[in-house]
Each structure stands twice: as structure tokens, then as C-alpha cells.
Structure 1
Amino acid sequence: MLRRFAGTSALGLLAGIALTACFSSPPQILALSPVNGSTSVGADTPIRVDFDQPVNRGSVTARFHIDPSLSGCADPAAAFSAPPTASCRVVWRSDSAGFTLFHGGAPFQPNQQYTLTLSPGVSSRDGSVNSLDHHWRLTSAPAPVVTGTSPDDGSTGVAIDTPLVVSFSTAMAPGPTAGAIHLVPPVTGTRVVGNTNNRGRVVILPGRLLDPDTAYTLQVGAAASEEHGQHLAAPVVIHFRTGGLSGGGHALVLARRPAEAASEVLLTALGPLQPGEPTAATTVLRAPRCEQDSCGAVRRDQPVLAYLEAALAPDGRALAVVAQDLTIGGAPPVLHVIPLLGGPDLDLGAAQHPAWSPSARVLAYGAPDGVHLLARAPPSDIRLPAGDPLDAAPVWSGDGSVLALPVRSPAGVAHIDLADPLLGVRYPVPGIAAGDATAPAPSPDGGELALRRDGSGVTGTWVVRLRSGGAAPRRLGDDLVPVSYTAPATLLALERSETDSLVRVSVGSGDRVRLAPPAAGAELASAVAVPSRRQVAFLGAGSDGGVQAYIENADGSNPAALTAFAAGQLEAASVSFGG
């Protein structure tokens, strides 16, 4: 009995296997993407259907439907044989067990519910037919909208150097969005740049300073689209009127093409508005280029002017720039004072080494007949007592009471003179004997001067008291070069070694605190401090080898790029600070 029962079970099992082989199941849908009930679906999101087995492709073609139909893809059946360039096309899995509809050129309409259908009749390769009617629904994402702008509509007094900002409700596609944003009147060289940390924010960087006291319109067209191709719900128009230069300080960068003299003067902010976007850098001056085979000593496409030096007034109202005519061999440098808010330029003739006082009321500069102090209001131009000519730009104390003059004797010896701008007197640095002296750095209150000396037995940075009884000069260190005071008793200096470093030095004790090392390629010999003495800038090689300008806090924190020149286009030649 036991053996008979076992035999019967075996026969039943064999019969089951035979029936399965003869009657295969119809194809079933294993997975859908997007899934049924999905919301906020991207406009170009592909539609994917996966089956549990290979299917007869022809049985699917006429049975796949989308309601309402997609503009540009009204007949989904045609998508199954469409070329790769079509606005919508179907790509089958290699095993024929699923397909994907790509419809980047036929996006979903915003905030629209769609019903996708596979009608009865889909068959497997052996002819088994699925007789069910499959439906699933999805709802597309809403159209993007502008959620904010800077400036706001109707704003007045907008800074002529400020970047403009547009914020959107979602991440935007860079190309279409940039192409849909326009500034009217147009400004040549304007760029639209996305924030890499917030793809719903774009920054408009005008190619030059905007004109002061001028009406502008910022247009954001409906062609702007989010990352899935959904266009802006409605265009936006922002009207604003400009004022003057923004507050908070600026960097001034002289830039050049590789192997050329500096041919552009750029005004930059002291860092980006937000992380993830470039620092605003606006071209103030751009030298014309030779458009003939030659222009005197200049060849075709070479600059006809070189910008040798530039200084921005602390109040941001004027720019002093030294230019040289390159078409004439040996032409002298000429100093111009350019008002940034309108008005005629002032030509000071053959002069160089400009430096504005902290109050922006006086411009010190060197001319063939000596060192001049040009006052803006009331206007006057006085010449300091005779002495050796300037070798570099003068350096003002923070309160404007002392002017340090880097000069050079006819014998080629560099040294420092001092001047009292109020009294118009000039005198040597007390306690410093004749010999090489460079890199003057007056203290904020003008009571102390740090300088670099080179020579037998005197090499190093020295600190000289200019008041309080004239104490003897003290040497801080033979490996230091002054940069600037960052506080009344703290000096920022370059520490020379195999790997140069910036250090903060206590003037009283000589103790040093080394700043965080900058990125590789930094040229710390170019370091300069902002007038507030809280930040320092320098030149350095970028990741692509081009020279950029960088800034960081005086303690070495928060490094940032001031420029982002494309490789082979421009590179920074110098950096300084102003209003």
C-alpha cells in the first residue's frame, strides 16, 4: 500500500510538469517607472515598463497609450520605430522583456495628471496573450517660478558693481536659463552663472560697471527651464535704478593675456555673495588692441596701452591708473584720475606710483619734479620737499598722519623717507642709517613703522618708534618681510624659508603665529592687506596653471578666489585694495 501511494504521487507530479510546459502563463508587468500614483514627476522623466518575460514587440506597439497626449509625441506607436534624434522614441531591452520611452523633446505639461495604458493583447514570444487592461497614473511637477530677485522690482540706488541675483523654485537648466535672462540696456560681456551649491539660484555678472543713476531692466523670459525641461510659468521683469559703488571694500586686479603687459583693470568684491558662486569681478578699463598689421611698435591684436598701476579711492568714487602708450617705444607712464560716478578724467601727465589717503581726500604720487599730494576738496596740488624719487607707491598709516615713501637714490640704493601730509614736510626714518630699506608698513595710528633692511649686520624686519621719545629701532627677525599691521601691536609678515609662509608677529614679544598654508602655487611675496587689515590677498597659480588672485582672512581662514579667469585667456598680474 505504501509503495502504491508513492507511485501515484509521482505520476501526479509528472503530470503537473507536463501541463506547465504545455500551457505557459501570459506576460505580466513586473515594474513601472514612475510608479502608479507618482507626483511631481519631472517633465522629461523616461517611462519604463518591465515584463516578467520577453514579449512580442509588435504586440506592444499599438497598445501603449498616453492620455492626454504629449505635444511632439501624439502617436506613441510611432515612437517604437523613431530614430535617436526624434522628440520621443522607445528603446527596448536587449532581451525584449521591457522598454523605455524617452521624451525629452516632448515633455509633460506642468502639474498635469497623465494616464498611461497598456491595452489587452500583449503577447509572449510563444503566443500567450495578456487579456487585462493595465492603467496607471502620474502627475507632473509644477512649472518653475521666480521666487526672488536682487535687486527687487522698483529698487533705487542699486550699486553699479553689484551682481544681480534671480532665485527659482527649483533647480534650473544652465543653458536655457542663461539664454533667457537679459539686462536692458545690454552690457557687453555680461555672464549668467549658476550657484553650484544651490542650482535654483543664478547670478548675473555685468561685463563692466553699470552706469550710475541709470534705469535698467532685468528680464527673465519664459524660455528659462528647470533641469527636466519644464519652462518658467511666467516671465518676470524687474526695473531698478543704479546709484554708486557698493560699500564694504573692493579688490583691484590688473589682468593680462599670457606673455603680454596688463591690459585690463578689474574691480572685484572681497569674496562671493554666497558659497558656490564666483566673486563678482567687473571690468573697469580694457585697453584697445591694434586692428592693423602694426600700430607703431605694436603688432596686430596686441594692446596699444599697458596698465602699470592702479589705485581705487577708499570711498569708491575715483580710480587712479598709470597707463603707458605701447605704440611709442620708451613712452613715459601717464597718471589719470578717473571718476567712477561720472565727470571728466584728470590727466596728471608723466607720473606714477599713486596712493590714496584713508579719507580718500588726498592722492600721493610721484612725478619727475618730486612727490606730490593732490587734494580733491578743496582742490590743490602741493609738492613735498625735494628728495630721491619714488620707487614704489607710498604707504599711508591708518589714520593718514604718516606717509611712508619708498624711494631710490641715484646710486640705486633703496630706502624709506617719511612725510607729514598735514605739514608738508619730509624726513628720514629716525634711527635708520643709510642703506637698503624697503617694504614700509606704518602702524594704524602712525606711531610705529616696520620696514625691511638688507645689508651686513642689519638684515631683517625692524620696528621703529616714530613717537614717544624715539626709542632705538628693534629687529623682529632676519627672515621676515613686513606686509601690514593687522592690529596696533600685531604685524602680518612674510616668513622667508624653503616654503614661504605668512605669519602674525607680536611687535612687543616677537612671538609668531603661522597662518594656515595657502594652496600650492601661492605667490606670497605679492601679499597685500585690505584697509580694514582683516584680510590679505595674493596671487597664485590655479588648478589649470593660470595665475589668479586669492583672498583670505588675516588669520588664514576662509580662503576664496577673487578671479576665475579661463585658462589661456587672462591671468592676474597684481592685486590691491580700495573703497
Structure 2
Amino acid sequence: MAARLAVSLAFLVLASLGAACDSPPQIVEISPGRGAQEVRTNAPVRIRFDRPVNKASVGASFNLLPAASGELAWPDASTLVFNHTTLRPDAEYEVILAPGYRDASGKSNPLRHSWKFHTEPPPALRSTTPAAGDQGVDPAAFLTLVFSREMDPASVGSALSFAPAADFSVRSDPGDAKRLVVAPQTLLDPSSHYELAIAPGAKDVDGNSLPAARLSFTTGPVRSLRRLITFIAGQTSSDPGTGVWMVDSGGFPRQLVAGPVDGFLWTADGLGLLVRRPGGSWEQVTLGSNQVRLPFSASWAAYLGEAAGYVYLDGRRLRRLLPDASTVDIATGVDEAAVSPDLARVAFSVHDLGGAEIRGYDVALRAQYRIQREALPISAIAWSPDGRRLAYLEESAGAGTLQLRVKTLGGAGTAATLATGSISRPVWSAGSNDLIFSAEIEVAGGASTRLFRLNTALPPPRLTSAGALPAAGPGDSWNPRPSPDGHQIAFLAGSPASAQVWLMNADGTGLARLTRFDAEAFPFSCREVHWGEP
């Protein structure tokens, strides 16, 4: 009985195989599907058969209407793929497989197969910032364009233009693929009417063309750049820079001041810069206005306000240029100077055979006074935000070792040492007792330059990697600059020859790299970081 059952089953299997061999080849899978909507215009047409087929006969039977140029490909013997040029948007297409295509054994299918699908609509510009007709737009603002689908930034950039003309770059928003950011390479002119035009040629990532579009807006007066980080960019760490640049937390570097630059400082109102050119000449650059050459040569200079003029260091002579263009000598033998946040006082250091001292200069009274006497040379004077303390570095007996000291002004006027080591220029953090600086410390594998945030009321016994910021970071870091609100710290990291700008929260979290070396877009190293408002 079992033998007869096995024979019967074998007969059924053989009969089924014979029937399959006698049947014509069948379609078992299609893409796009029958009646599919909003099909991507660059999506290939794919047909899979139930068996290997004769490729030539299938190719001769295949058609797409309306016609589109392309090529047939065969990933395997039973799958046809038609890779075509971009189809028309918002159009109905029909895939046809005419009768007569055969399988590999020669069996022919006598039926006509067809199905239709509808392609996606063309891309559209959904919204913009600024909106059409907006007034008072910040001249430093980026423009954002939001589309109905992901766009090709290169084609949009090629089709886009400003009137009046302005150089710009275009980048996709990492958080939203449908959003493009347009960044003018410099500040737009204040109180000016602009028109942004997108000509035919802009395409989405599928190759569909965007209809032409226009956007007009009017800029307002220049505003403070307090949320931007400014720095010098150059081919190397030592050559004259290519200008003063600016970058925001989005990592979009733009040039603020053109030409070779050796150094710069922001004016107290955040609306202008003092720029030192190679050779020691200085210019005052007012945002949205002209650059004015100043009538002095100096290694350092600062603006005291419209009613007080400028103070500058000519060799080792500290001098003042008054608003009437006359010059007053303040002191000789000066090593360096710093202006108080309220612009009312200047602290400067001098040294002699008996040691060094910090002196003060009252801008209104034009009078000097002694602040602190030390046994060894003094450098890196920094005023606290409230003007009540001075931080500075004093040399110590150890080679290459400096003491970080803080002098309290008024009252008992005490001075205290907070840290010792290979310490860089300290900077006060706004609204706090904290000093921020870099120092070289010993770590596993050798010496490393790290950042520190030191509470002047609770200084650590020594500087170690356990107290450095960030805890795990980009390696050597220096030139820290706290933001005007004290919540973030910008700094340089890498090697001096290829340093780039980084940003982190004041507690060392939220580490982000803002500039990247790029042989075409940004072939520079960075130095001398400052926020856009002191």
C-alpha cells in the first residue's frame, strides 16, 4: 500500500513539473505597482518573472509610454530593470509588455501585459525666511528656503542670484532635508532692498525642475554680532590672515573683513572692530560702513569711545589719541595694557630691575596710580566683567612656569595665586567668578594643552586632566573665549598649522566643530578667536 502511495505522489509531482514547463513565462512582481501614485521620476521600472527568460525577446516586447530614453539591465536571468532618464513630473505612464516574449527554453507568452502609474508633482518652494516683503531684516541673517521635497543644493546655488549682487553659498540643513540655507559670504548692506531670484535650472534630488521663483525683502540697520564667533583665517598659522571671518553654531564660515590681518579687537558696543594690518597700521571698521585708517602704528590698540578717543602701544610707549587728533603720552616702558569694560580705566604693566607692577590710568582724569607690585614680570592682564578685579600672569622661578593671580581692587586690595603652571592668557566668564584659560599638562603619552574653567573662590590644588574641559575632546585646545552670556566657550583645537574653531557649553558638554579645512571652500587654519561682542 505504501509503495503504491509513493508512486502516485511521484506521478503528481512529475505532472506538475511538466505543466509548469508547458506554461508560458509569468510576471510575478512589478515596480512601480499598478496604479501607484507620486512615483519618483528617477525610480527604475522593474519586472521579475517566475523563471529565467530570453532577454532579447523580453527587451523587444518592453515599452514605456510616454517614451523615455534609458537602458535595460538584468541583475539576474529572471529580472528586468529599466534605468531611464528623469520622467515628466505629475504625468501618467504606462508600462507595456507586448505578446511574444519567451522564457529560456523558448516557451512564448501570447498575452499583452500593461499597467499604469503616476509620477510625483514638480518641487515647489513652500516658505522662506525672511518672508516676501519683510522689512528690517538683519544684514547678518542667513536665508532659509523650504521646499516640498529634498533639493539638489548645487543646482539651486547655480540658479540663484541676488540683486544687488552678493556672493553666497548654499547648504542643506542637516536636520531637514527639504530645507536649504543660503549664506551671504559677507554682511548684506544695511537698510537696502534685495531681491533673491531662482531661475529655471534648480532641481530636486530626483532631477525634477523647480519653477522660477522670486523673493524680495529689505534689510534693517546693522545689529551686534554677539551670537557669532569671529576669528582670523590664514593659509598657515603665522602668515598674515586672509581677513576676519565669522561663524555661527551652524558651522557656516563667512568673511567679515577682507585683506591681510595680524590682529583685531571688537569695540565695546559690538558694532565695530579695530583691525591691525601687517606692519602695525590700524583701521576702524564699522559694520555696514566704511573702513577708516587710524593715524598711528602700534602693536596694540583699543577704542575708548567717541568722547575719549583711542589708546595704543607704540613700541613701549602707551599713548592716547584724543578726539581732536592730538596725542597724549601716558607712560613709557609699558609691556602691555587692557581697558576696563566700562572704558573708564586702563591697566598696564611695566617692569624694571626691581620687579614689575600694574598701574592704572583714569581716562577722564588722565591720572595714573599703582595697582600691584610684583617681584617678577607680569603679563596677560584681564579685567573682570564688573571691573572690580584684575587677573594676570606672573613669572615664577621655574622655567616656563607662570602663576595665575587675581588682584581685588578697592578695600584691602589683596592679590592671590590661584594656579601655577604653563598657563595661557586668562579670560573672565560673564556673570561669574570663573576664569577660563589653557594650560599644558602631563597626560598619558606626553604633554597636552587643555582648557580649564577655574572658580576663583575655590581654585584646585593643581591643574590635572581630571579638571580639563572637555573631558574627551579634540586633543590640544587653546585660545578659549566665553560667550557674552557665559553659557558657551569657543576655542581653537588641533595643531597650530591647521587649527579649527570649536564650540562647547561652559560645562564642557555639547562639543561641536564649527570650521573644517576644505581645499576649495575653506582652505585655512584659524587663530585669534573672539565673540562678536566683547
Common fold by TM > 0.5: yes
- After superposition, give the CA deviation of every residue in 1:140-190 in whole Å (9 maximum; x if it has no partner): 1221111222222223333333322222121112322221222223334x3
Aligned to 1:551: 503
Aligned to 2:385: 444
Alpha-carbon deviation of 1:337?
1.5
Contact 2:237–2:527 at 8 Å: present in 1 too?
Answer: no
Counterparts in 2 of 1:40 and 1:449: CA distance versus 1, 3 Å: same
Correspondence for 1:538 among 491, 497, 505: 491
Aligned to 1:515: 469
In structure 1, distance between residues paired with 2:424 and 2:131: 47
Contact 2:262–2:276 at 8 Å: present in 1 too?
Answer: yes
Aligned to 1:201: 179
In structure 1, distance between residues paired with 2:354 and 2:233: 29
Aligned to 2:192: 214
Counterparts in 2 of 1:473 and 1:316: CA distance versus 1, 3 Å: closer
Contact 1:29–1:52 at 8 Å: present in 2 too?
Answer: yes
Counterparts in 2 of 1:317 and 1:548: CA distance versus 1, 3 Å: same
Correspondence for 1:245 among 213, 217, 222: 222
Aligned to 2:445: none
Structure having the larger proportion of residues in strand: 2
Higher deviation after alignment, 211-220 or 412-421: 412-421
Give the TM-score, by structure 1 length.
0.79
Contact 1:312–1:578 at 8 Å: present in 2 too?
Answer: yes
Aligned to 2:481: 528
- Name stretches of at least 5 consecutive residues in structure 1 with no aligned partner: 74-86, 273-277, 288-306, 325-331
In structure 2, distance between residues paired with 1:187 and 1:440: 41
Amino acid aligned to 1:279: F
Correspondence for 1:285 among 258, 262, 271: 258
Aligned to 1:91: 73
Alpha-carbon deviation of 1:308?
1.4
In structure 1, distance between residues paired with 2:281 and 2:353: 25
Aligned to 1:184: 163
Q: Where in structure 2 are the equivalents of 1:136-535 lying within 5 Å?
A: 136-188=115-167, 190-232=168-210, 234-249=211-226, 250-258=228-236, 261-272=239-250, 278-287=251-260, 307-324=261-278, 332-343=279-290, 345-356=292-303, 363-367=310-314, 370-373=317-320, 383=328, 385-391=330-336, 394-405=337-348, 407=349, 409=351, 416-430=358-372, 432-456=373-397, 459-470=402-413, 472-479=414-421, 481=424, 483-486=426-429, 487-498=431-442, 499-511=448-460, 514-517=468-471, 519-524=473-478, 526-535=479-488
Give the secondary structure class of the aligned counterpart of 2:156.
helix
Give the secondary structure class of the aligned counterpart of 2:57.
helix
Amino acid aligned to 2:212: P
Counterparts in 2 of 1:556 and 1:396: CA distance versus 1, 3 Å: farther
Give the secondary structure class of the aligned counterpart of 1:271.
coil
Counterparts in 2 of 1:504 and 1:367: CA distance versus 1, 3 Å: same
In structure 2, distance between residues paired with 1:417 and 1:24: 106
User: How many residues were matched structurally?
Assistant: 515
Q: Note if 1:24 corresponds to 2:1.
A: no
Give the secondary structure class of the aligned counterpart of 1:258.
coil
Amino acid aligned to 2:282: L
Contact 1:117–1:133 at 8 Å: present in 2 too?
Answer: yes
Identity of aligned residues (%): 24
Amino acid aligned to 1:285: A
- After superposition, give the CA deviation of every residue in 1:276-311 in whole Å (9 maximum; x if it has no partner): xx3342242124xxxxxxxxxxxxxxxxxxx21112
Counterparts in 2 of 1:506 and 1:541: CA distance versus 1, 3 Å: closer
Contact 1:335–1:350 at 8 Å: present in 2 too?
Answer: yes
Alpha-carbon deviation of 1:492?
2.3
Alpha-carbon deviation of 1:383?
3.2
Alpha-carbon deviation of 1:396?
3.4
Contact 2:232–2:245 at 8 Å: present in 1 too?
Answer: no
Alpha-carbon deviation of 1:381?
6.2
Alpha-carbon deviation of 1:518?
6.0
Alpha-carbon deviation of 1:101?
0.7
Amino acid aligned to 1:317: L
Give the superposed CA RMSD.
3.3
Contact 1:222–1:235 at 8 Å: present in 2 too?
Answer: yes
Correspondence for 1:100 among 70, 73, 81: 81
In structure 1, distance between residues paired with 2:354 and 2:492: 28
- Name stretches of at least 5 consecutive residues in structure 2 with no aligned partner: 443-447, 462-466
Alpha-carbon deviation of 1:548?
1.3
